Amino acid sequence: MDLATTSLRAARTRADLRLAPGEQFLAGGTWWFSEPQPGVTGLVDLTTLGWEPVERVGDGLRVAATCTVEQLAAFPPDAAWTAWPLVDACMDALLMSFKVQGQATVGGNVALALPAGAMTSLLAALDAVAVVWTPDGGERREAVADLVVGAGRTTLAAGEVLRAFDVPPHALRARTAVRQVSLTAVGRSASLVVARRDADGTVTLTVTAATPHPVQHRFASAPTSAQVDGVLAGLEWFDDLHGAPDWRRAVTSLLAHEVVGEVTA
């Protein structure tokens, strides 16, 4: 969709990121241009800042907010990154065409804060930390699992920009399992569950899509079925046309036991 009344300017430096009234940040644009945007009078293009899409930082990984889903999936992983299959699994969960994969950005998916945002699921499950540029020229860091606080809601303040996501080495080298379910064969995720077992035996269970925001729980060692049930018992379940809360609770319980069993077998 064309936003005929919307201006567009390219950001070249941090000084260009000061928003005028009615302006919003633009990355891939797959959501901005998908429907009318009342109140938006201008877009500031972040892709012109020239950030490296994906780069190794020590033994870890930095993913630029403007990195496209396609660029992330094409990045050659280290042999030790046993968790890397999560990238393809979460990309498939987005159910996008190859054209959208080439435009949609990792940061845009997180900032949109849809419960079914699969890049949010991926980064939360891998303990990624968001690097946020603040309007005063500073920077703050926050776990992706905490950045998204509800459907369409994040902790990002006005004028803050997602710069990158740092993924720690311990998560990249972990054993992982993922399950996803939708009401239809090609529908939006109703539940996406990831289990990760680190080298020290810690098991991390991450639930997204079925809940309004990412839910994450760590077990010091392989949890019992009762412990997994106890974590799920207190969750708030999302309710929309892609799945009723009671159904999401039931399928998430099944998937959670499956992924925990897989990584602890």
Number of domains into which the chain is organized:
3
Residues 64 and 165 in one domain: yes
Question: Is the pLDDT reported for residue 159 higher than 70?
Answer: yes
Residues 23 and 62 in one domain: no
- Exposure string of 24-59, with b = 16+ CB inside 10 Å and e = fewer, is ebbbbbbbbeeeebeebebbbbbbebebebbeeeee
Which of residues 102 and 212 earns the better pLDDT score? 212
Is 152 inside any structural domain?
A: yes
3-state helix, strand, coil in the chain (%, to 5): 30, 25, 40
**Tens-digit pLDDT profile for residues 219-229:** 999 999 999 99
DSSP state of 27: S
Residue-number span of the structural domain to which 35 is assigned? 7-45
What is the average pLDDT across 5-13? 84
Specify the CATH number for the domain of residue 187. Answer: 3.30.390.50
Tokens read off for 136 = 């005063």
Q: Which of 170, 191, 206 is the C-terminal boundary of a domain?
A: 170
Pairing of strands 7-10, 42-45: parallel
Q: How many residues does the chain have?
A: 265
Tokens read off for 115 = 């419960």
Specify the CATH number for the domain of residue 88. Answer: 3.30.465.10
**Tens-digit pLDDT profile for residues 46-97:** 999 999 999 999 999 999 999 999 999 999 999 999 999 999 999 888 766 6
Residues 81 and 140 in one domain: yes
Residues 133 and 61 in one domain: yes
CA distance linking residue 259 with residue 85, whole number of Å: 14
Is 247 inside any structural domain?
A: yes
Residues 147 and 244 in one domain: no
**Tens-digit pLDDT profile for residues 180-219:** 999 987 778 999 999 999 999 999 999 999 999 999 999 9
**Tens-digit pLDDT profile for residues 109-155:** 999 998 989 999 999 999 999 999 999 999 999 999 999 999 999 99
Is 101 inside any structural domain?
A: yes
Positive or negative, the Cα torsion across 84, 85, 88, 94?
Answer: negative
Q: What is the pTM of this model?
A: 0.92
Is 2 inside any structural domain?
A: no
**Tens-digit pLDDT profile for residues 225-263:** 999 999 999 899 999 999 999 999 999 999 999 999 999
Residues 179 and 153 in one domain: no
Q: Which of 132, 153, 170 is the C-terminal boundary of a domain?
A: 170
CA distance linking residue 23 with residue 10, whole number of Å: 12
Is 99 inside any structural domain?
A: yes
End-to-end CA distance of the chain: 49
What pLDDT was estimated at residue 33? 66
Residues 68 and 164 in one domain: yes
Q: What are the angstrom distances between the C-alpha of 170 and each of 65, 98, 167?
A: 21, 31, 9
Is 1 inside any structural domain?
A: no
Question: Is the pLDDT reported for residue 99 higher than 70?
Answer: no
Is 192 inside any structural domain?
A: yes
Residues 218 and 235 in one domain: yes
Residues 62 and 151 in one domain: yes
Residues 222 and 157 in one domain: no
Residues 60 and 164 in one domain: yes
Q: What are the angstrom distances between the C-alpha of 23 and each of 3, 12, 128, 150, 197?
A: 13, 16, 28, 23, 43
Pair 117, 188: CB distance under 8 Å: no
